[in-house]
Amino acid sequence: MRLRRIATTLLCGAALTAALAAPAQSEELRLGFIAPMTGLFAQVGKDMNDGFQLYLDEHGGKLGGMDVKFIVEDDQAKPDLGVTKAKKLILNDKVHMFIGGVLASTGYALAPVSTQEKTIYIPSIPASDDLTQREAGKFPYLIRTGWSSSQPHHALGAWACEQGFKKVVTVGADYAFGYESVGGFQKAFEDCGGKVVQKIWPPLGNKDFGPYIPTIKADADGIFSLMVGPMAAQFPKQLRAAGFKKPILGGGTSYDEFALPFMGDEVAGDVSALQYSAALTTPKNEAFVKAYRAKYGKVPSYFSESNYTTAQMIDETIKQSGGKWPGTDAFLKTMASLKVDAVRGPVSFDDMRNPVQNIYIKKVEKKKMFGYEKDELWNTVLKTYPNVSQFWTYGKEKFLAQPVYSREFPPCKNCE
């Protein structure tokens, strides 16, 4: 009996020693990720997921030292389904936060869920202006890592004036993101002396622009287009095939690297604006493009970069919190204070939790980049507007005093 007690004591001591010597398991960080993995926007969803996953893989599946449980839910780019998936992630999976969505309308649908459930929501893609503007007070658990719809298009409107454009026709997808993008371009363009002389609104997902092209006013200097998903490749192709030879300016999604592989030489020379270009000639971006292409066989889109950078921001926030979950309020406070050297360039946040960042004016060119021997379409940077706020040059107070950009605002005072 005495021998048995001695053996038991020795075994317990050995077990205790082994337990003390073993590395402590890190706390698990549970992240919900909502993206369209099937349906019309499935490739966009894949780019989103791949961008985030690349950062995770590069960091051993950890963010800030915490093991990550990454739970992906398919919303098919349907706002109501996104709401259902967000509630599942919060109530069933007990996530610390949820990330993603694509459409502006999805962002507007998911934000109230965040408020109701007191759970952090990071719209890495939804650019819905009022998430971080007039309605921001309703969404205390939201912080955006991408951009607001009008943010790059203010810069493009100002650039168009600098280039001598006087009259422009806008053609934008008929939903919130289209209204806000067109509105940003129109406001800045008209404030510097230009005129929007016609506004055309094809429905979201439209593939046949035949009924719209003949109505475009002949005396315009060019077109500003805002296309999303498969619309982006179809519009310039059909426009050029119809004999339209004037310049085309595009919203960020009209010529993003998601769309370029589906386009031909007809888009060479077209100009757009966004906070990211895969053709940025910086060491950080070159490394990112090469790593992404090696893993996924394609050039990263802004959908990829935005979610890669979102993962970086979460990583840096957790690091500053000592490698542990700090709680919802502390996480948001720390993240909003970040100044990140991202793939896209320097990024910080304004006091309404929207990024302040470079906006790049980009021209589509066919060329070789980063050691690849094949000629491909790239968004060559023409001009950089540094530290662009969602309020452009208007100032926060003046900007928020006007209505959110919509079909009716700014009014088309130069349209017949």
For residue 380, what are its two tokens? 């060559």
Range(s) of the domain holding residue 42: 29-147+283-349
Q: Per the domain annotation, does 2 fall within a domain?
A: no
**pLDDT in the model for residue 26:** 54
- Chain centroid to Cα 395, Å, comes to 23
At 252, the pLDDT band (50, 70, 90 cuts) reads very high
**Domain co-membership, 68 together with 159:** no
Query: Which of 311, 328, 349 lies at the terminal end of a domain, its last residue?
Result: 349
Q: Per the domain annotation, does 20 fall within a domain?
A: no
**Residue of higher predicted confidence among 185 and 25:** 185
- State whether residue 280 is helix, strand or coil: coil
**Domain co-membership, 261 together with 291:** no
**Domain co-membership, 368 together with 227:** yes
152 prior amide bond cis, ω within 30: no
351: CB partners within 8 A, 6+ apart: none
Measured distance CA(101)–CA(86) in Å, rounded? 10
**pLDDT in the model for residue 12:** 44
Among the ranges given (19-28, 186-195, 379-388), the one the predictor scored with the smallest mean pLDDT: 19-28
The dihedral through the CA atoms of 203, 204, 208, 214 has a sign that is positive
Q: Per the domain annotation, does 248 fall within a domain?
A: yes
**Domain co-membership, 292 together with 174:** no
How crowded is residue 257: how many other Cβ atoms within 10 Å of its Cβ?
A: 25
**Domain co-membership, 201 together with 254:** yes
**pLDDT in the model for residue 229:** 87
**Domain co-membership, 137 together with 82:** yes
**Domain co-membership, 181 together with 251:** yes
How crowded is residue 338: how many other Cβ atoms within 10 Å of its Cβ?
A: 17
According to DSSP, the β-strands at 66-74 and 28-35 are parallel
Contact present, 248 and 225 (Cβ < 8 Å) = yes
**Span 109-145, pLDDT tens digits:** 999 999 999 999 999 999 999 999 999 999 999 999 9
**Domain co-membership, 252 together with 395:** yes
Q: Per the domain annotation, does 35 fall within a domain?
A: yes
Q: Per the domain annotation, does 133 fall within a domain?
A: yes
149: CB partners within 8 A, 6+ apart: 104, 127, 128, 129, 176, 177, 180, 181, 184, 405
**Domain co-membership, 161 together with 122:** no
Name the domain count of the chain.
2
**Domain co-membership, 143 together with 155:** no
**Domain co-membership, 188 together with 128:** no
**Span 276-327, pLDDT tens digits:** 999 999 999 999 999 999 999 999 999 999 999 999 999 999 999 999 999 9
**Span 143-165, pLDDT tens digits:** 999 999 999 999 999 999 999 99
Q: Per the domain annotation, does 406 fall within a domain?
A: no
- Residue 186 parent element (H or E): helix 176-191
Q: Per the domain annotation, does 392 fall within a domain?
A: yes
Q: Per the domain annotation, does 137 fall within a domain?
A: yes
Residues composing the chain: 416
**Domain co-membership, 128 together with 233:** no
Closest C-alpha among 122, 28, 39 to residue 75:
39
Mean pLDDT of the chain: 94
How crowded is residue 415: how many other Cβ atoms within 10 Å of its Cβ?
A: 13
Measured distance CA(25)–CA(86) in Å, rounded? 28
CATH code, domain carrying 311: 3.40.50.2300
